[in-house]
Amino acid sequence: MKALVPAVAVWGRTAPSHSITAVMITDDQRTIVTGSQEGQICLWDLSSDLQISSKEILFGHTASVTCLAKARE
């Protein structure tokens, strides 16, 4: 049986100007990480009621971010 997964708009009422190409959520389900075609990595806070707010944007990649993975502790 498939579990229902609610759709979540990561950007609120207005879409970002960058193209999201990769998405990852942390184990504690409090942070969403997105990678973009423009080379940015964005961190988003996710509240328990699924409200999303921007946290940080990281610059420096010269190519598209096409995948994300978490590092081991």
* Residues 38-72 pLDDT 10s: 899 999 998 888 888 888 888 888 899 999 998 87
38: nearest Cα among 64, 66, 60, 68: 64
Whether residue 2 is contained in a domain is answered as no
* pLDDT tens column, 9-49: 666 666 666 688 899 999 888 999 999 988 999 999 988 88
Residue 64 lies in a domain: no
Range of the structural domain that residue 42 is part of: 20-59
The answer to whether 50 and 8 have CB atoms below 8 angstroms apart is: yes
Q: What is the pLDDT of residue 15?
A: 65
| 3-state DSSP assignment of residue 35 | strand
Q: Is residue 39 part of a domain?
A: yes
- Quote the percentage of the chain above a pLDDT of 70: 75
Residue 25, in any domain of the structure: yes
- Residue 10 within any structural domain of the chain: no
Considering the entire predicted model, what is its pTM?
0.72
Q: Is 71 domain-assigned?
A: no
With respect to residue 50, please indicate whether it lies within any of the assigned structural domains. yes
Q: How many domains does the chain have?
A: 1
